Structure 1
Amino acid sequence: MRLYQIILACLIVLAACNNSASTKKKGEDTATKPLVKKDTPVVLNRILPDDGQSGMKKGAVYIYKNRGFELFSGSTGMGKKYAETINMYSRLKLPGLKIYNLIVPNGFEFEVTERNKDLVKPASEAINSIFAAEDPEVTRVNPVDEIRRHRTEYIYFNTDHHWTSLGAYYAYRSFCGAAGLTPVSLDTIPFKVKPNFLGFFYRLTRSSLLKNNPDSVKYYLFPDSVNFYIGSSSISYWAKSHMYAETASGDNSYSVFLQGDLPICKMETLHRNGRKIALVKESYGNAFAPFLINNYEKVIVVDSRYYKGDFLAMLKAEGINELLFLNNIFAAHTQFHIDDIKKLKK
């Protein structure tokens, strides 16, 4: 990895969402109906035709089509270390616990043309290399093809390294396919929007191109009733709060999701299907987690960078029977982030 890429990877994992704003009706539950597969989805080509446009580097950020990007070139060896860390949890053989691993591709993966294809390593290649090193008991979730089918939509921010809630939604659909769940449709879900978001890439570069292409942050108001709690290192302590930080604004707008990077939080719903999941994540998981309340009776979200409690004891105390590791592709190839995930197992 070239120096600027190493620097960017570290900045993204460390700052990844330190914009923290830490400020069904009962009856028949259809949340676990298996996803009905229709026609086999078309897999689109990764390389787009050359459109004559070139990008430029500004510090550690690649600016292309008035958007900021990170350029991925993680090593196979580091990806294998990440796989070994996931295997470590699988080999604990915790009774009744099903483990998933979902790796989020970077935004530039969906902008690769003949002209710039040598700038980055293919995301699916890196993800599949990790999957090949994982134990067969781990359920693998690769959202690349599902996201690529929607590449022309607003799935990654222009000025920030995160995905939008829509990008997270398409990964959630991939997860539902692997977990035997029916994904919620967004067609009738109300939402709110926070405008004028200038994110991490803008703060790094102060580029006028990015400043003139600001983002908006959409978050969905699901009809399912949910109780949201903020936890602590103590297994038994949960303080009732709100799933969205409505006061988040400006360059902190991404922190609307889950109030930012809380060490641990919990969502309890009216579903009674026996499915209780823990999500271990970095900041990409913040926009993803709210979708899970449509399918699970309990969702616990743990940020591996900040949680210092007894993780395994918490899983047992909360009756967790599914465990999802969700990390962006840079985090999955970064040593100190891998170490953070390892340290959860004390």
Structure 2
Amino acid sequence: MEIKKREKKVGSFAKKGMAPVLAALMLLAAGCSSNSGEASTAPASEAPPSQAEASSQEEAPSQEPESSEAASSEVQSIPEIPEDPAAEPYLNEGIVMYGKMALEAFYDCQEQAADYAEVISTIKRAVPSAEVYNIVVPTHVEFALPEKYKADFSVSERPTLDAVYNNYSAEVKGVDVYDALSLHKLEYLYFNTDHHWTGLGAYYAYTKFAEEAGFTPVAQEDMEKKSIPGLLGLLYDITQEPVLEQNPDSVEYFIIPGDYECQVMYQGSDEWLETSMLAEYAEGANAYGVFLGGDNKLFKIQNQDPTMKNGKKIAVLKESFGNAFVPFLSPHYSEVHVLDMRYWEGNLASYAAENGIDEILIMNNIKSACNYTFHDYLLAMT
């Protein structure tokens, strides 16, 4: 399959004006990275409401987190997105406001998605000795906006995801995390003031990856959960909505059991520096940076468990959605190498050979997968 010429596409919602397009450009310019401005001065608050509480004033049944074993042994039903009778969605700077949530609208991009599948296949052909996995992360709007409003403000992301997973031309293992997230859509999977997913959303994707990669995920109850309050993210920056300012997000993260040594290589440097897996000092507008300390050129996690000495090594090619996901891999691999495709420049096949990489995981959110700039980042590695 020939990779098509890069062309600018106009979304099917262009008739609604240029505001959505301008907002999308702002989000792409942010590169899906964690906010890097001054720390927010917003006061600390309690953890934000669950999805059900944020989108509905009706009481919804609570969902206690289930262990991965329980989830796999029972047939679960996908919950409906409850309507909030007091809320009507509207656009602010191209962002869909619904209740206490800011949501990025999604515009169908199946052609670009099919091209992305070929890019992933090119990665596999460049490193044929490695098992190559691909995860495309859906965005918040897919699991937050009731169906009755989607025709006016967004479209389903399912066909675009299918256009990726159905169009590989090499032996790529697509890991479709859509259902794993959809089953838990009433939980706190995405931030309400920012475009990223939460640690919990990343956890459910990790359980699906574990199933595909052949290992048992660590149960939630076996990890300590912590929280950083006061996140007012990129979508708040764009909209400046008072309701978001009054309801900041909390960044929840898990302490992964085990003993690990971590190193980081910053942009503009070729020197490895000692660091920690979690930057627990992160706060305010920078709170998402708790995961891996934010976006860096290279990050490496070495498992110190003696039984993992000769274990597998994985390289994760990612933008910032991968930051919340990567720590969960640390108990299952001898080494986890994290390459941010926006900042790392090098030949992936050479890097894999030099570092004994057995597996490669490419992880992007769906908007990055439809963005030809991200296609080019990956192709530059081959």
TM-score by length of 1: 0.89
Q: Deviations over 1:231-284 (max 9, x none)?
A: 368998422211122222111111111111101110000224521101111110
Aligned position for 2:275: 241
Shift of 1:196: 0.8
Of 358, 361, 369, the match for 1:324: 361
**Distance of aligned partners of 1:82 and 1:6 in 2 relative to their CA distance in 1, 3 Å threshold:** farther
Alignment of 1:40-189 (within 5 A): 41-42=75-76, 44=78, 48=81, 51-52=84-85, 53-95=87-129, 97-118=130-151, 119-135=153-169, 137-189=171-223
Shift of 1:219: 1.7
Letter aligned with residue 91 of structure 1:
R
Select between 4-13 and 164-173 the one with higher mean Cα deviation. 4-13
> SS at the partner of 1:330?
helix
Aligned position for 2:349: 312
Of 260, 270, 285, the match for 1:251: 285
Q: Distance in 2 between matches of 1:50 and 1:315?
A: 48
- Residue 28 (structure 2) pairs with residue 10 (structure 1): no
Letter aligned with residue 11 of structure 1:
M
Alignment of 1:284-299 (within 5 A): 284-299=321-336
Q: Distance in 2 between matches of 1:19 and 1:50?
A: 31
Aligned position for 1:28: none
> SS at the partner of 1:260?
coil
Q: Distance in 1 between matches of 2:75 and 2:171?
A: 25
Alignment of 1:16-35 (within 5 A): 16-20=32-36
> SS at the partner of 2:221?
coil
Q: Distance in 2 between matches of 1:41 and 1:134?
A: 30
Letter aligned with residue 80 of structure 1:
A
Q: Deviations over 1:119-176 (max 9, x none)?
A: 3222222111111111351001111111111111111001000000000000111111
- Residue 373 (structure 2) pairs with residue 340 (structure 1): no
Structure 1 unaligned blocks of 5 or more: 22-33
Contact preservation (8 Å) 2:267, 2:296 = no
Structure 2 unaligned blocks of 5 or more: 1-10, 38-67
Q: Deviations over 1:165-189 (max 9, x none)?
A: 0000001111111111111111131
Q: Distance in 1 between matches of 2:127 and 2:227?
A: 43
Select between 124-133 and 224-233 the one with higher mean Cα deviation. 224-233
**Distance of aligned partners of 1:67 and 1:236 in 2 relative to their CA distance in 1, 3 Å threshold:** closer
**Distance of aligned partners of 1:48 and 1:250 in 2 relative to their CA distance in 1, 3 Å threshold:** closer
Pairwise CA RMSD? 2.4
Contact preservation (8 Å) 1:235, 1:310 = no
Q: Distance in 2 between matches of 1:35 and 1:233?
A: 40
Aligned position for 2:64: none
Aligned position for 1:275: 312
Contact preservation (8 Å) 1:9, 1:334 = no
Q: How many residues are matched?
A: 331
Q: Distance in 1 between matches of 2:70 and 2:249?
A: 34
Contact preservation (8 Å) 2:119, 2:375 = yes
Q: Distance in 2 between matches of 1:249 and 1:162?
A: 16
> SS at the partner of 2:208?
helix
Contact preservation (8 Å) 2:291, 2:323 = yes
Letter aligned with residue 7 of structure 1:
L
Q: Distance in 1 between matches of 2:144 and 2:166?
A: 26
Shift of 1:18: 4.5
Q: Distance in 2 between matches of 1:311 and 1:203?
A: 36
Q: Deviations over 1:77-106 (max 9, x none)?
A: 1111111110111222532x0000100001
Determine what percentage of the aligned residue pairs are the same residue: 33
